[in-house]
Amino acid sequence: MNAAAEQEKTLRSLSELAEAGLIGRDRIAALQDVAARYAVAITPAISALIDPADANDPIARQFVPDAAELVTDPTESGDPIGDNAHSPREGLVHRYPDRALLKLVNACAVYCRFCFRREMVGPGRGALSPRALKAALDYIRTTPQIWEVILTGGDPLVLSARRLARVLEEVAAISHVKVTRIHTRVPAVAPERVSAALVRALRAYIKNDRACFVVLHVNHARELDAKTRAACARLIDAGIPMLSQTVLLRGVNDDAQTLGALMRALVECRIKPYYLHHADLAPGTTHLRTTIAEGQAVMRALHGRTSGLCQPSYVLDIPGGHGKSPIGPNYLDPDGATIEDFNGRRHRYPPQRKAPCGGATSGAAADDAFGN
């Protein structure tokens, strides 16, 4: 626990961070430009997790501004995953045929130093106007292939339960939308916001025969403290299944032991690890990004040594708005003739033939191929 553990308010300025002991007063001048460019917010729940005596604290690294954020690599972009190229209405992203993102609000409870929408989110950016929300919902209503709506932002759970309930009611009235996903960091960074009213709003939605998944953004096992676990349990016990998404970050979770501990902690909380994101090319984030080869090595180290329940899919959002693709590692050689096991040993796999009627190749044919 640090001096900030007793704080009641979210820290939003460098002087408040210094007051709470999260940065030295001598760093304020060097960080002025960072704070002017990218929003800062650290909730009481998060500051209580930070050990200010540890210069490499993995929680601090995610939330405390760093002068390295002023260095923008030429490959980085303010819209690294190409939201704008697929935005037919304000606040709406329709990139894949069967799902659409509804960005309800451009504010968050905390501001992550690696955020892929860091040039779009910040305090005072507020929620979609009623007019823009109506236009976005009209688009979804008139696009029957949209089967799933993903509520995101910013963080949709910074909205009041009443406001969220109204949006969910509108979504529930669209007959072709069967599933809603809510992407949020709130249960981990402001668990008190997972209130009885919020749980009631989500329950009301699923009573309309719709499925609702809450996807928790969490990057380190320490974020899953008792209050966060209790907040997640309130959702899960109410019948709201939870998944997780994690961003692979240098100095935060880029080794198999740390990442494995997080994935196990999630499964113990009944949260299925879903995505491990390769960090996007957001401006000023080079110091937090690993290489893809490093990410694949971490995934390889998890494979076989950590339960299959604990394996997320390692994905890259292709710059330019081309969507996510899994990025391995790959265990099958390109010809499909050998496959690697979790100990790194390779094994032959029988030549495959397409069966004439779409059935599987017979066992006898496979035996022949091996000369048995």
State the residues that interact with ligand SF4 by CB under 6 A: 108, 111-112, 115, 117, 121, 153-155, 185, 217
Q: Which residues contact 57 (CB under 8 A, 6 or more apart)?
A: 50, 51
Beta carbon of residue 108, minimum distance to ligand SF4 (angstroms, whole number): 3
Q: Which amino acid is at 363?
A: G
Beta carbon of residue 348, minimum distance to ligand SF4 (angstroms, whole number): 44
Cα 319 to its chain centre, rounded Å, is: 17
Distance between CA atoms of 2 and 12, rounded to whole angstroms? Answer: 17
Beta carbon of residue 38, minimum distance to ligand SF4 (angstroms, whole number): 9
Task: Determine whether 209 is an active site residue.
Answer: no
Nearer to ligand SF4, 153 or 260 (CB): 153
Nearer to ligand SF4, 64 or 172 (CB): 64
Catalytic residue among 61, 89, 108, 274: 108
Task: Determine whether 348 is an active site residue.
Answer: no
Nearer to ligand SF4, 154 or 295 (CB): 154
Task: Determine whether 232 is an active site residue.
Answer: no
3-state secondary structure of 105: strand
Beta carbon of residue 230, minimum distance to ligand SF4 (angstroms, whole number): 20
Beta carbon of residue 347, minimum distance to ligand SF4 (angstroms, whole number): 40
Catalytic residue among 79, 112, 118, 274: 112
3-state secondary structure of 204: helix
Q: CB atoms < 10 A from the CB of 59, how many? A: 20
Task: Determine whether 115 is an active site residue.
Answer: yes
127: nearest Cα among 100, 108, 147, 101: 108
On the CB side of 228, CA atoms within 13 Å amount to 28
Beta carbon of residue 312, minimum distance to ligand SF4 (angstroms, whole number): 16
Strands 313-317 and 211-217: unpaired
Distance between CA atoms of 209 and 325, rounded to whole angstroms? Answer: 31
Nearer to ligand SF4, 172 or 266 (CB): 266
Task: Determine whether 324 is an active site residue.
Answer: yes
| N-term to C-term CA, the chain | 65
Nearer to ligand SF4, 185 or 220 (CB): 185
Which residues share a beta bridge with 271? 242
216: nearest Cα among 204, 196, 233: 233
Q: CB atoms < 10 A from the CB of 96, how many? A: 14
3-state secondary structure of 144: coil
CA distances, 172 to each of 138, 157, 306, 331, 346 (Å): 13, 18, 38, 42, 50
Task: Determine whether 275 is an active site residue.
Answer: no
Nearer to ligand SF4, 14 or 46 (CB): 46
Nearer to ligand SF4, 11 or 172 (CB): 11
Catalytic residue among 27, 37, 51, 96: 96
Beta carbon of residue 295, minimum distance to ligand SF4 (angstroms, whole number): 18
Task: Determine whether 310 is an active site residue.
Answer: no
Task: Determine whether 317 is an active site residue.
Answer: yes
DSSP secondary structure of 325-371: EE-----B-TTSSEEE-TTS-EEE-PPP---TTS-PPPHHHHHHHTT
Task: Determine whether 112 is an active site residue.
Answer: yes
87: nearest Cα among 144, 127, 122, 135: 135
Which residues share a beta bridge with 316? 325
Q: Which residues are annotated as catalytic?
A: 95-96, 99, 108, 112, 115, 117, 280, 317, 324
